[in-house]
Amino acid sequence: LCPHHIFQVLTKRADRMRAYCIGLGVPGREHQIKDAARKAGAPLRDMEVLSWRITALPLRNVWLGVSAEDQARADQRIPDLLATPAALRFVSAEPLLGMVELTRLPGCDALNGRRWGGLDGDVRRGWSSGGNARLDWVICGGESGRGARPMHPDWARSLRDQCQAAGVAFFMKQWGEWLPAEFGAAPDIHFQDGSWMDANTLPDIDGEDGWAFDEFKAHALFKRVGKRAAGRLLDGREWNEAPNG
């Protein structure tokens, strides 16, 4: 009812969003929504406009997105997002807690719109063999708050580089509580006061999620300075890319 606004809908429940949005296109669904709007006291004109817009899915002023903080969540949620009718699709990799490869998800390359068949997930999600839906925007950010975990700069760089190669908009939102220091030899650090953290203590780098520490060129050191002081520069520049929607 407000085409002059753009609504960004972000969820962790991608399967529910897919089912709901596909259901909007089912014949008779507009009458159910009009009935709900009438019970809520919406004016008759608004209900008429709503009914007309539902027949023109996907809604041009609604962007749909999912959170994907690590590879497991990306594998689980993004394929459902790609199978959801949407004018624009985005991923919020915040807080980013591990390396995420968006071009090698189960059954698809989310950045280039490529599919490969033979997976049960294709049937479950309703993918067609000729589908070419892809992500339009990737938002990256570190964690904030009292129990925040640091974001390794290589994780952010990887997402940026993947987006650049595919021509997908990349937005670096924040480092969060922990600011990465320059790479260097790992000093003898003690953590009693919690002011410094060595990336070797991060679970993803230690290999608990399949990532070996040796894959990184060197230790990454972090200092807890707060999200305002940490800022959002990645390799010396801001990344403010946004999709054309």
Q: How confident is the model at residue 205 (pLDDT cuts 50, 70, 90)?
A: very low
The helix or strand, by DSSP H or E, that contains position 66, with its residue range, turns out to be strand 62-67
Summarize the confidence of residues 123-141 as an average pLDDT. Answer: 70
Residue 16 sits at φ, ψ, to 5 deg, of: -70, -40
The helix or strand, by DSSP H or E, that contains position 8, with its residue range, turns out to be strand 7-11
Among the ranges given (35-49, 74-88, 128-142), the one the predictor scored with the smallest mean pLDDT: 35-49
Decide the pairing of beta strands 137-141 and 169-174.
Answer: parallel
The helix or strand, by DSSP H or E, that contains position 170, with its residue range, turns out to be strand 169-174
The answer to whether the peptide bond before residue 43 is cis (omega within 30 degrees of 0) is no
Q: How confident is the model at residue 227 (pLDDT cuts 50, 70, 90)?
A: confident
Task: Name the one residue in this structure whose structure tokens are 């990184």.
Answer: 216
Asked whether the predicted pLDDT for residue 184 surpasses 50, the reply is no
Q: How confident is the model at residue 224 (pLDDT cuts 50, 70, 90)?
A: confident
β-sheet bridge partners, residue 237: 234
Residue 240 sits at φ, ψ, to 5 deg, of: -115, 25
pLDDT in the model for residue 215: 36
Give the contacts of 238 (CB within 8 A, at least 6 positions apart): 172, 232
Q: How far apart are CA 190 and CA 213, in angstroms?
A: 20
Summarize the confidence of residues 153-170 as an average pLDDT. Answer: 95
pLDDT in the model for residue 59: 82
Q: Can you give the pTM of this predicted structure?
A: 0.76
Residue 162: what residue type?
A: Q
Tokens of 43: 């004016």
